[in-house]
Chain A
């Protein structure tokens, strides 16, 4: 809850105070010397979640999308970092919600994706409400109080941790796959589906959002990824079995 309270304080200051990072993504990748490991889980630097919580998140996503050759799974693609960066979207300005366009720069043209876009007034209300919760702020409570995504993850990861401690006397992040998988299967299906959606996005979405590291998600399913400005030729469309 510490993160939510900090975000709340910034919001009450009218959004005038924002933490601006030099990079759109808070972490700098596994080669960063500040990288931590908790159990088997790699914790990138400057995560939104505290390292222990991030490890629980990584353990959850791994249970949802495990490595299964040729699929790399959520751990190798760093899908947890995708969700972590969404939760901390407003730690940078513009927030990490909508990547730029039109090009990623991977196939020619400039790298426009990494220039995230400003939000409109109502988009900012929407995304702050979704991530931080309504926090009693009238403009966010036009249909009543809203629990933020950060709080939802905090509560559910805490519940998974409690279940792990109660049943196995170990932290959720330190359980073997089968035991984590069983606990997730017995958890609130609404949250599990929400987390699964985020794990999918972090595995197969564009890497600019923090997941799909080294395009492993795309490579694992033989998917070509974004195509602009090249697109597909008539030959490639007529012969889809060819690369």
Chain B
């Protein structure tokens, strides 16, 4: 089992969610985060004073999936999340050591 983590632009969430659902993904977790990469922040001006806002709002997506589906889902996610402009984000994959469905107690791949 693998954990796919993606940092994407907030306005891309609907598109990514739809694409993943269409591909059969039944669960995901999203959180609102802030961050910066090469995009950098922006400047706001209040009463003539400039404030550099370094962190940009992003959405973090987490999906646990079977090993054999990882590549397809990563491709799908990347395509849906891409705008072509700086700040599109990143996707990475890590191994999941154990997984349990809380309601039933199922574990391992049955819990995906």
Q: Verify that A and B bind, or say they do not.
A: no
Interface residues of A (CB under 8 A from B): none
